[in-house]
Structure 1
Amino acid sequence: MDRTPRESAATVVRWGLVVGMLSTLPIYASAEQPLAKSEPRAAWTTSQISGSPEPPLPYTTERAFPSLSFNRCLDITAAPGSDRIFVVEERGKVFSFPNRSDVESADLVIDLAKAIPGVSRVYSLTFHPDFETNRYCYVCYIKKVGEPDGTHVARFKMTDADPPTIDVASETTLLTWLSGGHNGCCLKFGPDGCLYISTGDGGPANPPDPEHAGQDVSNLLSSILRIDVDQQSADQNYQIPPDNPFVDLAGARGEVWAYGLRNPWRMSFDSETGDLWVGDVGWELWEMLNRVERGGNYGWSVLEGSHPSNPERKRGPTPILPPTIEHSHTESSSITDGLTYHGSRLPELRGTHIYGDYDTGKIWGFRYEAGQVVEHRELADTTHRIVSFGEDNNNAMYLLDHTAGTIQRLVANRPSEQPSRFPRKLSETGLFDSVVDQTPMPGVIPYAISAQPWADHAVAQRFVAVPGSEMIEPKPKTWAFPSGTVLVKTLSLDMEQGNPATRQHVETQILHYDGIDWLPYTYAWNQQQTDATLVPSDGDQRAFEIVDAASPGGLRNQTWRFAGRAECQRCHNSWSGPPLGFNTLQLNCDLDIGDAHVSQLDRLAEIGLIDKPIDPKDRESLVDPSDTPAETAPRARAYLQANCAHCHRQHAGGAVLSKMHSDVPLSETNMLDARPSQGTFGIHSAHVITPGDPLRSVLWYRMAKLGSGRMPYIGSSEVDVAGLALIGDWIDQLPPSESSSDPAAIRRQSDALAALAELEQSAETETDAEASLEKLLSTTEGGLLLMRSLQQKSLPEAVASLAIARAAKHPNAGIRDLFERFLPADQRVERLGNVVATDQILALSGDADRGRLVFFETAGVSCKNCHRIGEAGTAVGPDLTAIGKKLSAAELLESILEPSKRIDAPYLTYLLETIDGRVLSGLLVGKDDNQVTLREATGTVVVVAADDIEQLVPQRKSLMPELLVRDLTSQQVADLLSYLISLK
């Protein structure tokens, strides 16, 4: 990748076609002007982007003890019967100070790193409920990482001097376990007087759960432990309470109270209800807050929250429970549990459980009533590294900022007397001299990138603006940007595909750097093409009818999704290293201006947008994926870089541990021969990429389909036909590996190829074609073969029409979703689609009689095929005879739209793969040494001999498809809900 721009024809960009309006800008000369060194860029001074478009949050923070600061503080607590507050520093020091806002300094209680050889970190401190009489305190500290007994929970005695100190000679070790990156180490006494201890999985961030401890109760990892410190046993300085859930389970550690946690970071007891709350730091996608129960299993590492992460791993002895609250990594990335507030200073928050996030500084609160979360809302958005919450003996709440070392408290946010001035129109942003013509203001610079991401047929214009005379600093990985930098992208669609004269602007996306984060905003263009309006924070969508000769019937009905701000941050976040396209790799292209090629990187340095030229040896570049004369492999890697790599990399939000950046050697990407962690979609011996075999490559399959499981997951709803062909050709050309020669997979593909050959020759009779189609569509691999033949137009027209009609109505959604795009526009139902406005459906008045018809008679929904009501229907899923007594309309709608979110244990789906390559799925009816019995989604009971089974694994996936109702109208769903609610 050590190429200069001129060494790759693929990096030449015809600038005028990409961004237009070049003659108005000092950065690029027009075709008639000499290509001399450009004049310095004009200063951009007209930015109107500041503040926030959202109303202010109700709370902010202030320092509770302004004169105090600590070094990498980790825990804060109070001693019973004392006015002193205690703070723990990560490197081993413990301090105390009188609880007065004007306190000037804190007193050293102990330096454990000096007092105890080998101590490297101290995580937490708590006090015995009878501290006033016994002076006992408990500390969790870490020695060297990787030691089997490197994590210690120890009891100490504190002196009654003023200020108090800890007597190191009084140490009594209670428990030890493996020290690792995830240690947990929160200590809390429960209302029962027992000590509760949190432990992590003992591993680093990746690979997930390396000890496979999450579902294993034979060790102390990934758990909440409960011990009685007031009693001793023969070989322990504590006793295991006899009512702990696993004391009678052979091989289990009796100390385990709950398990299935990755890295529980802080926990708390509600002092009034006794509820135990635990925050669990997630892996790639989710952060969790759990109300922990006796014997509870919280899923790690089979699940991350309620989402599959390693569904094939063995599960623990109790059913997996869903998290009480989960946050995606768009808004939280390192959760910190807080406490249930019962103080007096903020009476409106009494009874509210308050928690935060270490990375984002956000603080949320909710109430928990009658087993439900209510009034869940964001309370404050801070810049703190929130590492712990604590309270004094008067229930006053504090939080610790780990980096700043300060103690903060919540205070009411004074409402601003000035209304928000955030620009609601694109014309108000100060970016364009003429919004209509997309003529930028002086100092707003157009730029081009080498590898364009797929944008559902749209073309892009890109601009960058830096305030005043400040400059961007190019760095080897992510460039450094001045505060106030803005990146702009306007996306436009041809209303007649391929005819630029019909082009209309659809949306303009803005990334604004506030010095800490890149904040995304989207503006939707009006139909008159005169301006664009700020899209609501949760996004929007609009339908377009495009004249397209390549689409069935010559029309393409396209639903355009305007991403919400949280959706944008799924890609533009600190893990992905934003901005995605403004870096050396993408900007290292030549600009084709007139008859000359100009290095874009050189020109950006000449005009003073970047602060120095980039050394040619450091100029990595990408091949244009659409440059068909170029070699296939670099084009394919560039395609993955532009479309996939920002999620599929470590910590970037993709649950698949593939690394798709173009600079990662292919052998190290964890794609080749890697087992898919999110399902095989019925493909036998599937891998993320099976070298030489696209039909067994889940990457290719997911690009080819619509609906659930499609990739890219965000930012696109149309299949990229050219990109699909490129990746398919690349996989075809990869040298086969040992896994490529799997005998059962070869047999399945041979059968599918034979069926396809029969279909190609079956123009004589429709009956012959039907028989061939039935064989071909019996497997996902056969469906992929047929899809590729239709795309390549290799079938006779009559046969192709029949194939589309049959395949697009196939009962298996995994196959059906490959063919929806081949249907003419007038044969597609106007339906809910993948984005369902639940509040709008719940606001509709439903008709129970019509809803009964939806349940029993509407094609494509098939509720009756899996559920029984009274004597009607089939008992594959739960009986719904009295469902109206159990669930509200909102809960029913959630279970319909997200059936895998909460699955009762009897309805857990199992995947069974036979030695000869058959793949079955269904509910586990029975299992013994001789056979396994499954009930498929159709209700068919299948018995498989144990000797014929290759693997049998549970799946965190409901038999009921996701978004089963997406083909219905809003009114039909409202009617269905009305009928179900009536079943009491």
Structure 2
Amino acid sequence: MKKTLLSALLLCGSMAFAQTIALQSFATGFTNPVEITNAGDGRLFVVQQGGQIKILNEDGSVNSTNFLDISTLITEGGEQGLLGLAFAPDYETSGHFYVYYNNTDGDTVVARYSRSSTNEDVADAASAEIVLTMDQPQTNHNGGCIRFGQDGYLYIAKGDGGGGGDQDNNAQNVNSLLGKLLRIDVTGTDTYTIPEDNPFVGVDGEDEIWATGLRNPWKFSFNRLNGDLWIADVGQEEIEEINKVAPDAAGINYGWRCFEGSEVYNSDGCSLVEMYTPPFAEYTHNESDGCSITGGYVYTGDTYTALQGKYVFADYCNDKIGIVATDGTISWSAEFSGSLATFGEDIDGELYVAGKNNGTVYKITDSTAGLENVTNAVFSLYPNPAKNQVTVNLNAESATLAVYDLGGKILMQQELHNAENSVDTAALQQGIYFVQVSHNGGSTLQKLAIN
């Protein structure tokens, strides 16, 4: 039997749940979805590889009118098409957003568009302004992800140009934009300018480059709480890698083609003194049945406490959700379906994932299946099972009580100051819950049944 429980995350001391990731269908009917993002409000914007951007509303409905359709401008198929979307930090006032696509020549284009002045659910298709065009030698390894960092600059992930093995050594060539993470300033009156602290300003190398040594970074993201940069880089033959660095870490060399993950791939011409940054986490194709990583996000939402601070990703080939713990270890979910090709984060930090082949956007949930490290030395409670009220006997001067559902979602909190405390549970539906009492930096936990 395949293992389906993910590693436990310690919550507030001794409380820990064993996680089971589930996918809840949120919306269907998309065609080759490859990006999901938000514009600073409750809507999600779903990018279709064929050139359309659709609006997915909070209630799961999809607008019948496309937000934007640039299907006549692109080359679609394989790894090409409309691949990326990013809304400017000041989108609410400026209405500017950016797209990443392969034009009819197959080359990479980053372009700026504006929102319609009369309808916030529609873009002005005539507002297009080309920001950057880059040669794409082969049809694969396009990268395609674009994001704004907390510094306000636009970051652009570019693959090594395609083929196999980076035969032209693009990723290690600082005079090529291929195999790089780029960083540009699009806030001024010029199409774009170069931030002064980009690592190759004033020295040999393209000024747009922020990081080197990437093969095909299929999705990167910034932790919305601390700005940490996470890059998922698709491997060549054996290893998929996940990179994590601080937001101000400039000039990082992630190692490709000298390294695939942490293993030497092709050291010909590689410098013995170059500082290569190894992956924060990695997995092999043999151990995972995977072959192509789909990058995701660090979960920063409030709904699933056990997921907080963990990086959530997938593999396109094994259709499993992976979770990277804070120590870099990886755990896997059960196998899903649909070829999981892209993640999305809503304004509250809740996560979504899309199946490219079945056109479904799922909401990621965490349904707790077990409990670890249960003790109750600090308190006792009765009756259990209970109905509308439970009494908590406290063996301490004061403490904080919290009640969680099986998914790790906090439902209620109460300060405890007496040896005997009454807790109103009338709002809880019939089922099993966890009561946590925190005291002096530690915590203890007990199951509670509501009849």
Q: Is the 8 A contact 2:307 2:366 kept in 1?
A: no
Distance 1:415 1:276, change over 3 A: closer
Give the equivalent residue in structure 2 for 1:337.
295
Structure 1 contact 97–106 (Cα < 8 Å) conserved: no
* Distance in 2, Cα, partners of 1:349 & 1:160: 40
What SS does the corresponding residue of 1:229 show, helix, strand or coil? coil
For 1:244, the aligned partner's letter is: N
| 2:230 aligned partner | 277
**Given the alignment of the two structures, is residue 241 of structure 1 paired with residue 195 of structure 2, yes or no?**
yes
State the Cα distance separating 1:163 from its structure 2 match.
5.5
The yes-or-no answer on 1:346 pairing with 2:307 is no
Match of 1:108 among 57, 66, 71: 66
Task: Give the secondary-structure state (helix, strand or coil) at the position aligned to 2:306.
Answer: helix
Instruction: Report what 1:324 is aligned to.
Output: 280
Query: What SS does the aligned partner of 1:249 have?
Result: coil
Aligned with 2:100 (options 130, 133, 140):
140
Q: Are positions 1:262 and 2:247 aligned together? A: no
* Partner SS for 1:65: strand
**How big is the shift at 1:350?**
1.2
Gaps spanning 5+ residues in structure 1: where?
1-51, 417-984
How far has the Cα of 1:272 moved from its partner? 1.3
RCO higher in structure (CA 8 A, sep ≥6): 2
1:192 aligned residue:
151
Q: Which has the higher strand share?
A: 2
Deviation at 1:191?
Answer: 0.6
1:784-799 to structure 2, matched below 5 A, reads none
Match of residue 286 from structure 1: 239
Residues paired across the two proteins, number: 348
Tell me the residue number matched to 2:355.
401
Q: Could you tell me whether the CA contact under 8 Å between 1:63 and 1:406 is conserved in 2?
A: no
Offset of residue 375 of structure 1 = 5.7
Q: Within 5 Å, which residues of 2 pair with 1:506-545?
A: none
The CA deviation string for residues 690-718 of structure 1, in whole angstroms up to 9 with x for no partner, is xxxxxxxxxxxxxxxxxxxxxxxxxxxxx
1:123 to 66, 80, 83: 83
Q: 1:344 to 1:359 in 2, by over 3 A?
A: same
* Structure 1 counterpart of 2:381: none
| Offset at residue 168 of structure 1 (A) | 2.2
Give, as a single letter, the amino acid of the residue that structure 1 aligns with 2:301: G
Q: Distance in 2 between matches of 1:213 and 1:143?
A: 21
Q: What letter is aligned with 1:269?
A: F
The answer as to 2:161 corresponding to 1:202 is yes
Give the distance between the partners of 2:299 and 2:184, measured in 1 at CA.
Answer: 26
CA deviation profile, 1:141-186 (whole Å, cap 9, x unmatched):
10246x5xx1000111011544622222211111111223111110
TM-superposed deviation, 1:189? 0.4
Distance across 1 between alignment mates of 2:71 and 2:4: 47
Tell me the residue number matched to 1:225.
182
CA contact (8 A) 2:97 2:113 kept: yes
* TM-score (norm. length: structure 1): 0.34
- The aligned runs of 1:653-802 (5 Å cut-off) are none
CA distance in 1, matches of 2:272, 2:90: 36
Matched, 1:85 2:41: no
2-side partners of 1:152 and 1:316: how far apart? 35
Please give the residue correspondences for 1:778-927 in structure 2 after superposition, counting only pairs within 5 Å: none
Q: Give the distance between the partners of 1:113 and 1:104, measured in 2 at CA.
A: 19
Contact kept in structure 1, 2:74 and 2:104, CA below 8 Å: no
Distance 1:228 1:124, change over 3 A: same
CA contact (8 A) 1:295 1:318 kept: no
Aligned to 1:377: 331
The residue matched to 1:191 in structure 2 has which SS?
coil
Report if aligned partners of 2:54, 2:63 keep a CA contact under 8 Å in 1: no
The within-5 A match list for 1:337-486 is 337-368=295-326, 373-374=327-328, 376-413=330-367, 415=369
Query: Which digits, 9 at most, give the CA deviation of each residue in 1:262-283, with x for residues without a partner?
Result: 0000000011121100000000
Superposition CA RMSD, Å: 2.2
Offset at residue 117 of structure 1 (A): 6.7
For the residues of structure 2 that align with 1:193 and 1:322, how far apart are their CA atoms? Answer: 27
Residues 25-72 of structure 1 deviation map (CA, whole Å, 9 limit, x = unaligned): xxxxxxxxxxxxxxxxxxxxxxxxxxx154645324333424x32011
Distance in 2 of aligned mates of 1:139 and 1:299? 28
User: 1:258 corresponds to which letter in structure 2?
Assistant: A
Match of 2:431 in 1: none
The structure with the largest helix share of the pair is 1
Aligned to 2:435: none
Taking a change above 3 Å as real, the CA distance of residues 53 and 123 of structure 1, as seen in their structure-2 partners, is closer
1:126 and 1:53, CA in 2 relative to 1: closer, same or farther beyond 3 A?
closer
Instruction: Please say if 1:59 is aligned against 2:20.
Output: yes
| 1:216 alignment counterpart | 173
Matched, 1:182 2:136: no
Question: 2:98 & 2:340 partners in 1: Cα distance?
Answer: 23
Is the 8 Å Cα contact of residues 89 and 122 (structure 1) preserved in structure 2? yes
> Structure 1's 345 and 176: CA in aligned 2 closer, same or farther, altered over 3 A?
same
SS of the residue 2:67 aligns to? strand
Per-residue deviation, residues 771-795 of structure 1 (Å, max 9, x unmatched): xxxxxxxxxxxxxxxxxxxxxxxxx
What code does the residue aligned with 2:156 have? I
Q: CA deviation at 1:382?
A: 2.0
Q: TM-score when scaled to structure 2?
A: 0.73
Q: Distance in 2 between matches of 1:391 and 1:365?
A: 16
Preserved CA contact (<8 Å) 1:232 1:239? no
Which residue number in structure 1 is paired with residue 383 of structure 2?
none
**Cα shift readout 1:827-850 (whole Å, capped 9, x = no counterpart):** xxxxxxxxxxxxxxxxxxxxxxxx
* Aligned partner of residue 210 in structure 1, secondary structure: coil
Shift of residue 111 of structure 1? Answer: 1.6
| Per-residue deviation, 1:249 | 1.5
Pair member with larger Rg: 1
CA contact (8 A) 1:123 1:185 kept: yes
Percentage of identical aligned residues: 34
User: For residue 200 of structure 1, what is the amino acid of its counterpart?
Assistant: G
